[in-house]
Chains A and B, each alone.
Chain A
Amino acid sequence: MRLIHKLGDWFDQRLQLGAPIRETMEHPIPRDTASWFYVFGSAAMTAFGLQLATGILLALIYVPSAGEAWNSLQILNHQVELGWFIRALHGWGSNFMLAIVLIHMVQVFLFGAYKFPRELTWILGVFLLLMTLGMAFTGQVLRFDQDAYWGLGIGASISSRIPLVGPALVKLLLGGPIIAGHTLSRFFALHVFVIPGLLIAFVGLHVLMVLKLGINEWPMPGRLVRRADYLEKYHNLTHTDGVPFVPYGVLKDVVFSGFVLLAIAACALYFGPFGPGGQPDPTVIQTAPRPDFFFLWLYAVLSLLPPSLETPALLIGPVIALLVLLGLPFFSGEGEKSWRKRPIAVLTILLTAVALGTFTNLADHAPWSPVMDAGTGVPVPSQLLSGRTPLQIQGALVFQSKQCHNCHSLGESGGKRGPALDAVAVRLTEDQLVRQVLQGGGNMPAYGKNLNPPETTALVAFLETLHPGSQAQAKDASLGPEPKL
């Protein structure tokens, strides 16, 4: 025991860290911040620590070469003892880290913790969020499969639209003219050196500021922040009703971090690693690239924006979002902290959450994507064929063979790119159907050149049968009332 003490003294004489560490541990924090609401920051840091550790472990095997990366992931999954588990920990750790960072941000926003004097802590936090998203995207690239390859193409296509510098930026992003070896190498450098280095530095500053400026006190409705007297009030609060940071402040952090690690490990064990999907061979085009979970909302937005709005929205939207986040502590640096008295703040969070949730859910179904194999793989429901004339059945054949089914559903099967056709004859008359098929319009290609007259006649005859028994067919009002039967 005495030896340990002596060793400790020896080191402290040289490092001189004992006193500041003791001071940090003992510094008083507001009593009510020792709360389960204040555990997310430390949990994000714990998840980041796990990512660092598992990332280094993966780098022992992973080969950052476009020709080898996919094979080395297979080796990790199937040959290296427990390689699959380390990959799964890293993949699930990434999801947990992003989710916790987002929750942390929402909590900080709703508790007004970004207000004076913690503006810079918030700004660093915004950059930490961007870096975490950057890690998620570059990490998805390192899982070098088909999704990664085509995802890079999407990144390049978006970057290329930036005026003037776009094409040059694409070359810098890809490290050359195409997505290839140099692309993977530079994303490896970003994912393993550049962004983690910045993350470590920014996390260090972020935590330092939390310790220096003190943990945000529990917001009380009506207790307003004013630059003039906040620091004095906070000092009084911590010195009249404060508790030492250790153990009061960190107890719940430690417990929650433990649960986060346990949850990541449980997910890793139960669900296993993510991919890799198909080989990153550009000549294999039978693929429908999808982004990872946290970018699905963006995939939906890119599908749903009108074409003319897309480039401005892509280029200006992120800048505005970033400016709003960075500017928040400056235009709302004082005043009410409690979410109970900040309805707009609460509505903003709810609206953002609902929007992101809706887009993510939509992206899961991707109704805007044609079902690429519906023409051959998804038959016309048989009840739509029974009792039909030969011409109408011939029309159903045309419907299949011309891949109409890829974009139009019948009885819930097939694509959802265009409208469902189960009741199309209620909406359109025969003439309107012919015109729609031949000329297209309303986001439908024109089939005039690809259908000969008998095919068109048969197809429209089939479409004319598509109306529920209870609903009458559409009829041309200009032809006058139907003759009474």
Chain B
Amino acid sequence: MSSSFLEPQGPKRPGDFSRRQALLKIATLFNAAVGGLLAIPIVGYLLSPVTRERKSGYDSWISLGAIDQFPSGETRLATYRNPVADASDGETAEIPCWVRHKDGEDFQVFAINCAHLGCPVRWFQQSRLFMCPCHGGAYYEDGSRASGPPERGLFEYPFKILDGKLHIQAGELPTPGLAAGNKTRRPCQCA
């Protein structure tokens, strides 16, 4: 490989050479500074799913429909469209949950996701248990852990009744790590 063309032509002048090296260092620093500045919006863009939550939060109150859809003493599947959704989400923005009408205005609304690893739990009316098809977690009708790998009961959404309609506060996939932090800011409706 001939590299003659990359080498400085003519005799090296030590004074000039060290000046060039110093200039190169300054130029490199300048480049790094601009790069650093550019990194700020790039990192901001990448972190937006996290920062957005800090600003406005993902949860909001959503109606699940009139309360008479949920007969007293029974547990029924309900679905809602996630409050944070856009056109590309398609059917994935339709989120199911289990509504347990205890009696009167007393409800429990459980996330569909098993507290173990998030698989969809199914309600078994006769044995009054929720069972998970993945790793075999089971929960009692009040959502408390019955058996299997889950370390806790089902995730619960806060609810309220407005104009005869059942509303829940939801908007985020409940996960074991998140739900632990959620408990403190949830108005206590857990009986």
Contacts and interface: CB of A to CB of B under 8 A. Distances in A.
B28 interface: no
A154 B148 contact: no
A67 B90 contact: yes
B49 A175 contact: yes
Interface string A398-416: 0001111011000000000
Interface of A: 16, 65-68, 149-150, 153-154, 156-162, 166-168, 170-172, 174-183, 185, 279-283, 285-289, 299, 302-303, 305, 307-308, 310, 368-370, 372, 375, 401-404, 406-407, 417, 440, 443-447, 449-450
A449 B142 CA distance: 12
B85 to A, nearest CB: 7
Secondary structure at the A interface, as helix, strand, loop or mixed, is loop
Interface in B69-125: 77, 79, 82, 84-96, 112-113, 116-122, 124
A177 B90 contact: no
Contacts of A162: 177
Contact of B173 (A179, A417, A440, A450): A179
B84 to A, nearest CB: 6
B84 A178 contact: yes
Contact of A180 (B89, B119, B121, B140): B89
Instruction: List 9 A-B pairs, minimum CB-CB distance, nearest first.
Output: A67-B90, A160-B177, A181-B88, A153-B118, A445-B146, A160-B175, A166-B177, A177-B58, A288-B133
A281 B127 contact: no
B176 interface: yes
A166 to B, nearest CB: 4
Nearest to B91: A281
Which of A150, A153, A372, A401 gathers most chain B CB within 10 Å? A153
Size category of the binding interface on chain B: 35 or more
Given A153-B117, A177-B173, A282 B92 contact: yes
Given A285-B77, A369-B135, A402-B127, A67 B88 contact: yes
A407 B84 CA distance: 38
A176 B129 CA distance: 31
A410 B7 CA distance: 85
Nearest to A449: B128
A417 B135 CA distance: 9
Contacts of A183: 92
25 contacts: A65-B90, A66-B89, A67-B91, A149-B92, A150-B120, A153-B117, A154-B134, A159-B175, A159-B177, A171-B53, A175-B49, A178-B82, A178-B95, A180-B89, A182-B49, A282-B96, A285-B96, A285-B112, A285-B121, A289-B119, A302-B149, A406-B124, A443-B148, A445-B138, A446-B140
